[in-house]
Structure 1
Amino acid sequence: MTATESHTEVRPAEAPEQTPARVIPDALPLMPEDPPRVGSFWLRGRLGANAAGYLYVASDETGQDAVVAMMAEGSADDAAARDRFVTAVDELPGDAVLAHNDGDDDDLALWVAIGPIRADDGSSAASDERLLAERRGEDVLSAVLMDRIPHLGRFRGPDFLHYWEGRRRPGLFRIWPLPWPNALRAASRWALVLALITMAIIMALAVFLAWLLFRNAEPLEPEPVIPTPTSTATVTVTPTTPPPNTGSPTMSPSPVPTPTSVPTTGIPTNLPSTPGTPGGDPGDKF
């Protein structure tokens, strides 16, 4: 082998890389205005939102995952938008609609739970079911917004805009039963129990200290009026100064003053009658 010959290294063939399963996107945390629960589904996070409503990731009491599409405040107040939401839900496959509320609830926002979604085991099948449910929820909200209707003709004039586009808060909802304390985690439950026990100990200590302070307190003077069954009141008065010590067990009664006669002056009634005063009545002047 000459020096000019090149040396090539023979490397073993590398195994083909396995395509990893698609990662399910994480949901955004819920906002204070978001409902913690709709129907029998607990909401865990936001998946998306537009002017027509919101997409949430949720699960029921049995652990069944679903995607919940819920109307916004503005679209829920529009009768035509509600009709489009109901029509879009009716067009979904029967096995895809897990639950929904009644369209006759005019004071509540319409929502629908879309699934089924198997547990996230890292497989591509679970990811596909999740993405399919999200796409169906987006289709429902897009039907309300009418943003996927093909345009006919050329674009002229201002763009179309719903009058309720600015009202993007979640629509009204009703929770029953109440989410507390079912929505709490195990750590939150222990924190709640410890807080209640601490509050009970503090209240018991406050009552004990009050008993120690006021157990030897003197009674109020004068004592309160005690009503009797005969509709009379008995008042017990405690004298503030003791009587003088006279050395005798009895005391002489005090003299009772006698009334004195006071002369009174008045108009005499036995005067003889005169011609100017008929009948002798001094009030008769005419």
Structure 2
Amino acid sequence: MTATESRPAVPAQEVPTALPLQPEDPPRVGDFWLRGRLSVTPAGYLYAARNEDGMHAVVAMMAEGSADDAAARERFERAVDEVPADLIVGRNTDDDDDLALWAAVGPVVADNGSSSSEDSRQIAERHGAEILSAVLMDRIPQLGKVRGPDFLHYWESRRRPGLFRLWPLPWPAALKSASWLAILLSLVTMLLLMLAALLIAWLLFKDKPNVDPDPLIPPPSNTVTVTITPTTPPPGTPSTSPSGSPSTTGSPTTPGTSPTPGGTDGTIPTNLPSSGSIPTNPADRY
């Protein structure tokens, strides 16, 4: 590449006319949906907006600090009244003392590349900037000599958007400019994915054995359960004395044979005391 050859021209990056809205910005004021920020000053904000009828406008809205100052609110209303009436397409009044004042300047011709569209946008932005400048009083000419510290409003540090009332709620009016077809297709796609997941889970686990085994039930048998009921020995049978030696009462025993416990019918006596002596002290039992 020689020095005489010219390099291809790089197109300049297009600067957007409006910056994206921030989380603290209201999505809607009055009948206008805010689309982006045009400028920010200590007095308030300029927003690009559009109403539900498709009319574009520039909304000037007071900041949180200026909206709490009665004198600043009065200057804002006076500046709005000075704008030609045919350019004010919407506003709120000072009766909404709990809200930030705003005014919509327009209408702005939709951006179609024509000069009329650019002119209408610049005119609306200029009037909106003048309204906020009246609140700041930064365009008032100096009457005397400049002395002392610079003038600063006490509320200039509170630059968040002013309070606003969002009623009625934006749903479903916010979706009027969106595609209902796209939302419907997304819901149908989510439903199909859920049904496919359920079908796959059923096919995977339909033939799986039970994790917990079935309870074991013993088969029936001819086993007979015999219950021995203790009975009192009949009179005449030998018994054991508390000291452990057999008693002499009853029938004598044959020498060489040991007395069988219980009666002659093979029953086991239950009234026999335990071997050993019974302690007299209750504490000795433990």
TM-score range, shorter chain: 0.5 to 0.7
Bigger Rg over Cα: 2
Q: Find the counterpart in structure 1 of residue 19 from structure 2.
A: 29
Shift of 1:194: 4.3
RMSD: 3.6
Deviates more, 1:190-199 or 1:94-103: 190-199
Looking at structure 2, the residues matched to 69 and 158 of structure 1 have their Cα atoms a distance apart, in angstroms, of: 30
State how far apart, in whole Å, the 2-side matches of 1:179 and 1:239 are. Answer: 57
AA of the residue aligned to 2:18: L
Q: Which amino acid aligns with 2:202?
A: W
Corresponding residue for 2:169? 177
1:67-78 pair list within 5 angstroms: 67-78=58-69
Q: Secondary structure at the match of 1:69?
A: strand
Note the residue ranges of structure 1 that are not aligned, 5 or more in a row.
1-24, 223-237, 268-286
Q: Structure 2 vs 1, CA of residues 241 and 141 (structure 1 numbering), >3 Å: closer, same or farther?
A: same
- Answer yes or no: is the 8 Å Cα contact 1:36–1:179 preserved in 2: no
Q: How does 1:140-151 map to 2 (within 5 A)?
A: 140-151=131-142
Output one character per residue of 1:254-275: Cα deviation in whole Å (capped at 9) or x when no partner: 3154484587x9x9xxxxxxxx
Shift of 1:69: 0.5
Residues 1-286 of structure 1 aligned to structure 2 (within 5 Å): 27-33=17-23, 34-120=25-111, 124-175=115-166, 176-178=168-170, 181-182=174-175, 185-186=178-179, 192-215=183-206, 240-243=216-219, 245=221, 248=222, 252-255=224-227, 257-258=229-230, 260=270
Cα contact 1:120–1:127 (8 A) shared by 2: yes
Give, in whole Å, the separation in 1 of the partners of 2:49 and 2:229: 97
Who is 1:225 aligned against?
none
- The alpha-carbon distance between structure 1 residues 39 and 240, as it changes in their structure 2 partners (threshold 3 A), is same
Give distance in 2, aligned partners of 1:44 and 1:105.
24
Q: State the partner residue of 1:16.
A: none
Q: Which amino acid aligns with 1:73?
A: E
Structure 1 residue 30, shift from structure 2 partner: 1.8
- Aligned pair in 2 of structure 1 residues 73, 254: CA closer, same or farther (>3 Å)? farther
Query: How far did 1:220 drift?
Result: 9.2
With over 3 angstroms needed to count, the CA separation of the structure-2 counterparts of 1:111 and 1:255, relative to structure 1, is same
Q: State the shift of 1:85 in Å.
A: 1.9
**Is the CA contact 2:18–2:48 (under 8 Å) kept in the aligned structure 1?**
no
Cα deviation, 1:131-185, whole Å, max 9, x if unaligned, reads 3322221121112111122322110011111122223232233444326652764
Pick closer, same or farther for the CA change 1:43–1:183 going to 2, 3 Å. farther
CA drift of 1:59 comes to 1.8
State TM-score, norm by structure 1.
0.62
Q: Which amino acid aligns with 2:227?
A: P
**1:120 Cα deviation after fit:** 4.8
User: Percent same amino acid at aligned positions?
Assistant: 54
Q: State the aligned residue count.
A: 222
Give 2:19's aligned amino acid.
Answer: P
Unaligned runs of 5+ in 2: 1-14, 232-269, 281-286
- In structure 2, how many angstroms separate the alpha carbons of the residues matched to 1:48 and 1:242? 86
**CA offsets per residue over residues 193-249 of structure 1, 9 Å max, x none?**
444333222211222233335545677979xxxxxxxxxxxxxxx86251463xx4x
